[in-house]
Amino acid sequence: MLNVLTLSSLFPDSTRPNFGIFVQRQTAALAMRPGVGVRVVAPIGLPVWPLARSDRFLAQAALPLREVWRGLDVSRPRFTTLPGTGGRFHVPALIRALVPVLDRLRDERAFDVIDASFFFPDGPAAVALGRRYGVPVSIKARGADIHHWGHMPATRHQVARAAAAADGLLAVSDAMADDIAALGVPRGRIRVHHTGVDQARFQPIDRGEAKAGLGVSGPLILSLGALIPRKGHGVVIDAVARLPGVTVMIVGEGADRTALQARAERLGVADRVRLIGAIPHDELPGLLGAADVMALASASEGLANAWVESLACGTPIVITPAGGAGDVVTSRTAGRITQAEPEAFAVAIRDVLDQAPDPWAVRAAVRDFTWPTNAAALHSHLAELVSRTGSGKRS
């Protein structure tokens, strides 16, 4: 029996049901494998009082400390964050919060390995805890955890030390693995571990019927992601302004909402730009299946789940050469990789619309991106770490 402790500060809860849902899906798939037991520790960072008095933080503070979340045993310890410190003290605060929780979990049933599913602050904390409990540690890099925290003055050395000290390293794409290696880690130590997608839920549907249900008659572009500068929604709006008759629906919420709405009005395309906010993850397949193109002008990514989910729905993508773009856009049927410039995006979108590829041919680009495949690879990786270190005999 392989007993896994999954540690991830990126994990959904009742206040944020879409937050890190791909980590939850990966963990659930791992737990379904024969001979694997999984418990999850999903710490929640809360700022010092009185900053924690906002509705959002009060709701998170009220969450159960331990619960069964979609079939998984999940502990949710709180740790204190200090705004204005650049994350410098996140790791020691997290370790202090985790030790009593992990002591109790170990007393219930020893764990053989710690699987940190986000690099910061989870990774450095996991390394320290692995030493405390005498078990190996794997850390996975997903994107912003390296691109942001791995370059911030207050945290970059913590990230680099954790990468060097971890027993195993995973990355969501080849490009992400190269980014970890740039921290000073031999590239050969890093395994690429692609995400998965529920192929039964995300698949082609009748596009015309789905668009009609949304009140759209012409070409439909979907842009999916948080409304923040890094996601490049403004570039997509500018591109759509160059494409008469094309509608764009932007799914997500964030601080840029007002600015994006004003941008659409200034360009005279507010009637063709729909900011629909965040939606439940279960509603995504219908939207993605209705779209002719999913366009996302990200400045940085690891390997965006939105890319894989779109392709699984038979919807080609137009994206920037960020992160693992080349891992999924492996043919012109799957879409285009272009620069994050309005004209370049407009040309690429028009090219895909003119091509109108068969949705089932588009879907073939991600036929190997499944949760069972993802879980099998993770199981093998973690079991190898335990075998190599002999920790299973100690636990």
Per-residue pLDDT at 50: 79
Q: Vertex 226, ends 259 and 121: CA angle to 5°?
A: 125
% of the chain exceeding 70 in pLDDT? 99
Domains of the chain: 2-196+371-394 (3.40.50.2000), 207-366 (3.40.50.2000)
| Residue type at 298 in one-letter notation | S
Section 156-184 average pLDDT? 95
pLDDT band at 391 (very low <50, low <70, confident <90, very high): low
Section 204-214 average pLDDT? 95
% of the chain exceeding 90 in pLDDT? 93
Neighbours of 81 (CB within 10 A): 19
Q: Say if residue 208's pLDDT is above 50.
A: yes
Distance of CA 309 to the CA centre of its chain: 12
Token digits of residue 308? 């894989």
d(CA 137, CA 122): 11
Q: What is the pLDDT of residues 37-81, one digit of tens each?
A: 999 999 999 998 878 788 889 999 999 999 999 999 999 999 999
Per-residue pLDDT at 137: 98
Are the C-beta atoms of residues 173 and 192 closer than 8 Å to each other?
yes
**Nearest CA-CA partner of 82 in 55, 117, 121:** 121
Q: What is the residue-wise DSSP string for 104-129?
A: HHHHHS--SEEEE-SSTTHHHHHHHH
Q: What is the pLDDT of residues 338-356, one digit of tens each?
A: 999 999 999 999 999 999 9
Q: Write down the mean pLDDT value for the chain.
A: 95
Residues 6+ apart with CB under 8 A from 93: 45, 79, 80, 81, 82
Give the Å distances, CA to CA, from 113 to 4, 104, 164, 243: 5, 16, 17, 52
Q: Say if residue 393's pLDDT is above 60.
A: no
Per-residue pLDDT at 51: 80
Per-residue pLDDT at 144: 85
Section 363-368 average pLDDT? 95
d(CA 173, CA 325): 9
Per-residue pLDDT at 166: 98
d(CA 255, CA 259): 8
Q: 117-126 burial, b if ≥16 CB within 10 A, otherwise e?
A: bbbbbbbbbb
d(CA 275, CA 226): 11
Q: What is the pLDDT of residues 265-298, one digit of tens each?
A: 999 999 999 999 999 999 999 999 999 999 999 9
Q: Write the DSSP symbol of residue 48.
A: P
d(CA 2, CA 334): 38
Section 368-390 average pLDDT? 96
pLDDT band at 394 (very low <50, low <70, confident <90, very high): very low
Total residues found in the chain within this entry: 395
Cα of first residue to Cα of last residue in the chain, in angstroms, is 11
Q: Say if residue 395's pLDDT is above 70.
A: no
Residue matched to tokens 């995300």: 202
Q: Say if residue 325's pLDDT is above 90.
A: yes
Q: Say if residue 392's pLDDT is above 60.
A: no
Residues 6+ apart with CB under 8 A from 85: 154
Q: What is the pLDDT of residues 221-275, one digit of tens each?
A: 999 999 999 999 999 999 999 999 999 999 999 999 999 999 999 999 999 999 9
